[in-house]
A and B are shown apart, each in its own frame.
Chain A
């Protein structure tokens, strides 16, 4: 542990949070102690349920009524724990301010951003007149590097991008000149390139304002990019606390090591791992956008998308989500589709199972056209395709037990009953490492990773020729993600299905895929072999994506940052 700093801004000692749920006591945070020095960024890292957010919320008295907080948190000599509502109001905003995860949810959609920031300004300094408030709002917007603040003032949140919204939220938090800024997963809802911008804003702002930041995150890359010191939490306890450089270089706690090891890194997979399931001839082709260029002996691709255009119509306006995408996936091959939100990657995936309105182009699955298929033919075609959705919590029917969920496709399409059905379900669940007692559980009784494994078992139940995985690990913690990816890889090697793997995370894609297609604004800007795309990208956007993703290594990340900014 680090030696106590003489001039700490916030000194948390023996902090505990307990919840009283129907007479049962659940300990969420147990004996947490840490310090934040002046002008220091402390990252509180941990997986979901580790108590990191609870710790931060308890500082501002934001926990629900059934929570009991013990211990002490001294902010520059003032005790925060057990403060009365009036005292809390004085601390909130003006001494400690908070930034939340989802910027769009944190802003009021019916008020202009200028009004919302002005409200925050007036709240902390009532003597300012109109002109002074306006000047201060513009100053704040400049501080968070929003271009042309005078015009932005009159705009509504929906007119701004996600990154700009998060900057507005940061500007509001800064309105009261807080000594401590609590940032709860400030970039989790944002794309990598936008995340990089927001992190840059936070870093430069901190240099100018001399304020401290308590950064709560699960992303080791973000920690490496911004934090001076790191406290790792697990099950309500701080297991390790050290300077960022030392923690990343030589973690001594087993859990920290495990956490760092499970962070996927680009280039971690050996380049030489030749996957036997992929025909060598398929690997030799780098540009396979068009199946016609393939040698004639090549078997027909399982998924063949040609000049696909998807358009959504709403209130007379037409939005083109996918604009002329051509892509093919062969048997036994994993093709990754990467891009940021709004790039059309998920829409392409949805269109491949007939869930998106195809305006033109064709989608063939094992040679059969999906676009014109109707009724029975469409249902038959869909049996050949398995889909894994991003969020396992919403993709499993809450009223179906694990068994029912996995059994349903077999019951409906294979007409299996009784023993045969039981055996098939057993086999499938064994395949994803959920055997025995799990079968009668319902989704709400499972963890996120277990749910996603059930969803994967369900997707491969009919032994599909093609599996479409839409960000299957984005909603999961890193250590869970590693396990789910392992399950995925095993199944793919055993069953040999073709796979379209949609993801925004280049590191995940690197660990799994054979080929990578990069999408931007509805088009594929680059497609090629994994090693080539990741190590020698041709398109500037691919390079931008690669540069923006922070790596979980503070030294390397600083070098990358300087290279990018400078």
Chain B
């Protein structure tokens, strides 16, 4: 979410003449719409960093201790989320899966968003040949079947880690957002306040950073936060095909993929990883939404 920092308007003037208003940050930080998703995300990050602290809460903290006799069994004391197909503890697996899933989701979204903002802004602001080249490039990527492309790239890379999977996912994720950025920048580029800035002799860099991007990025941010969730799921489909994270790795995607076939007999296999995924995505989306309205003076009372 580092791109959020660029979104802030000119720094809120400090001290002197602002005793009576303009403290959007402080008010936001105190609001429930910020606190709840932020706390959830913080918890997930702590889980991702130190899974062992949480996995052992119910006495069966090792995700690789499995008992095939218990395959697919329902929740039982000591195993609150039940057993998976291999007879391993689902709770421990979900906890340990947080790390790679969250990493893939956030890392991919960041990469794709940064690429999309840079290329989309160039295309939208410069226009002409730059626009043509970048637009055709996005067309090519959008037209390319995602799974086929992913198979080709991941097989040729050979090595499959969180990093490479994120790279491949963002390779196919940026074009859609770049299109969005391009359209958004184009509409803002011709706004009167941008023309006014140009007539004041303000440099292109400052125009883009202060006038164009702050007003153009709102829709991109919404898509970016939603993308995080779909990326986590996309990782699972790659893994399901055997080209995502490799077998010893644990991720929600892997768990969802293996649970989908057993959904009717053992619904808990699907429910618990999905629950974590849903909470993660919801937290990111609502946090993004809160930040967006904080940064937009028109949405403050």
Contact = CB atoms under 8 A, between A and B. Distances in A.
Interface of A: 353-355, 378-383, 385-387, 389, 391, 394-401, 403-404, 408-409, 412-413, 422, 439-440, 442, 444, 455, 458, 462
B28 to A, nearest CB: 16
A403 B199 CA distance: 19
A256 to B, nearest CB: 34
Contacts of A408: 10, 197, 200, 202, 210
14 contacts: A353-B199, A354-B199, A355-B195, A355-B199, A379-B201, A381-B201, A398-B215, A398-B297, A399-B9, A400-B210, A401-B22, A403-B13, A412-B206, A462-B200
B214 interface: yes
Given A397-B193, A400-B10, A444-B298, A387 B201 contact: no
Contact of A409 (B13, B195, B202, B296): B202
Contacts of B206: 412
Contact of A396 (B17, B193, B210, B214): B193
A398 B298 contact: yes
A399 B297 contact: yes
Given A395-B196, A398-B193, 19 more contacts: A380-B201, A383-B201, A386-B199, A389-B192, A397-B193, A397-B197, A397-B210, A399-B9, A399-B215, A399-B296, A400-B210, A401-B10, A408-B200, A409-B200, A422-B17, A440-B17, A442-B297, A442-B298, A458-B200
A397 B295 CA distance: 13
Contact of A389 (B9, B10, B196, B214): B196
Contacts of B298: 398, 442, 444
Nearest to B21: A440
A401 B297 contact: yes
B2 interface: no
Contact of B202 (A394, A412, A455): A412
B182 interface: no
B17 A439 contact: yes
A336 B45 CA distance: 64
B198 interface: yes
A474 B106 CA distance: 49
B211 interface: yes
Top 4 A-B residue pairs of the complex, sorted by shortest distance between their CB atoms: A382-B201, A395-B192, A379-B201, A442-B297
A378 B198 CA distance: 10
B215 A397 contact: yes
Contacts of A412: 200-203, 206
Contact of A355 (B193, B198, B295, B297): B198
Interface residues of B, number: 29
Given A391-B192, A422-B16, A440-B21, A400 B9 contact: yes
Interface string B270-299: 000000000000000000000000011110
A439 B17 CA distance: 9
A440 B200 contact: no
B199 A395 contact: no
Nearest to A445: B297
Interface in B29-65: none
B193 A394 contact: yes
B18 interface: yes
A427 B199 CA distance: 22
Given A382-B201, A399-B215, A440-B17, A389 B195 contact: yes
Interface string B170-214: 000000000000000000000111011111111100100011001
Contacts of B201: 378-383, 409, 412-413
Contact of B297 (A383, A444, A455): A444
B219 to A, nearest CB: 15
Nearest to A384: B201
A399 B192 contact: no
A244 B197 CA distance: 46
A382 B9 contact: no
A170 B57 CA distance: 76
Contacts of A444: 297-298
Nearest to A392: B192
A355 B199 CA distance: 8
Nearest to B188: A397
Interface in B1-35: 9-10, 13, 16-18, 21-22
A534 B298 CA distance: 44
A412 to B, nearest CB: 5
A354 B10 CA distance: 27
Nearest to A352: B199
Contacts of A403: 13
Contacts of A398: 193, 215, 296-298
Contact of A394 (B10, B192, B200): B192
Nearest to B296: A399
Contacts of B193: 394-398
Contacts of A440: 13, 17-18, 21-22
A500 to B, nearest CB: 13
Contacts of B200: 382-383, 386-387, 408-409, 412-413, 458, 462
Which of B18, B199, B297 has the most CB atoms of chain A within a 10 A radius of its CB? B199
Contacts of B191: 394
Contacts of B16: 422
A499 to B, nearest CB: 15
Nearest to A378: B201
Q: Which of A355, A401, A422 has most chain B Cβ within 10 Å? A: A401
A439 B10 CA distance: 14
Nearest to B299: A444
Q: Which of B21, B201, B297 has the most CB of A within 10 A?
A: B201
Contacts of A354: 199
B17, B193, B197, B214 — most chain A CB neighbours (10 Å): B193
A440 B16 CA distance: 11
B128 to A, nearest CB: 13
Contacts of A394: 191-193
B296 to A, nearest CB: 7
Contacts of A409: 200-202
B192 to A, nearest CB: 4
A398 B200 CA distance: 17
A522 to B, nearest CB: 21
Contact of B199 (A387, A413, A439): A387
A235 B22 CA distance: 30
B196 A458 contact: yes
A382 B199 contact: yes
Nearest to B10: A404
A379 B207 CA distance: 13
Contacts of B215: 397-399
A445 to B, nearest CB: 8
A382 B207 CA distance: 15
Contacts of A379: 201-203
B7 to A, nearest CB: 9
A26 to B, nearest CB: 15
Nearest to B300: A442
A378 B193 CA distance: 19
A398 B193 CA distance: 9
